[in-house]
Amino acid sequence: MNEPKIFLIGDCHFGHRNIIKYCNRPFVDVEDMTRKQIFYWNSVVGKNDIVYVDGDFALCGKQKIIEIGKQLNGRKRLILGNHDQASVNTYREAGFEFVYNHPIVLDDFYIVSHIPMVGISENAPFANIFAHVHDDPTYKDCSCRSFCVSAERINYTPIWFEDIKALIKAQEV
């Protein structure tokens, strides 16, 4: 069996009609957005791969959260965002193995948080992978110490952790 790949994505906002206009998302309506995001997700994530959802998974009712979650490939892990208001049990029913209410650390160097950490210098002993900011131009897509996985920034498709690491490394001076 192949070693599972690790992917990250944040700010999916499944079920959130207004996010389409707020962030000028290229979808006709919320059903189109849901269908396409599920397709994009499953086109890169295998059944045994691990996906960290960097907050704001869905803004809809319990049954819809469960229905959407069950359609997504991979072993899902959710870092709660400001819009993730369902119960932990709902996210577990949707297929999330872990639900974190705090940032996590990957590979002893990458702090994965919903909200970006501010004031990180290029000499910091870590890098921050974050979401929350959607298409806000104040935040870079990538720097030598940060990477934004908001869905709008990564074509609504989970991004492979190895690609994130390579993109961050390429920014180093």
Instruction: Name the nearest CA neighbour of 116 among 143, 89, 91.
Output: 143
Q: What H or E segment, with its residue span, contains residue 97?
A: strand 96-100
Can you tell me the distance from the alpha carbon of 134 to that of 63, in angstroms, rounded to the nearest whole number?
25
pLDDT tens digits for 96-125? Answer: 999 999 999 999 999 999 999 988 888 889
Confidence at residue 49, expressed as pLDDT on a 0 to 100 scale: 98
> How many CB atoms are located within 10 Å of the residue 150 CB?
26
The class (CATH top level) of 6-171 is alpha beta
pLDDT for position 1: 63
**Which residues of the chain, if any, have pLDDT below 50?**
none
Query: Coil, strand or helix: which one is 106?
Result: strand
What pLDDT does residue 158 have?
Answer: 98
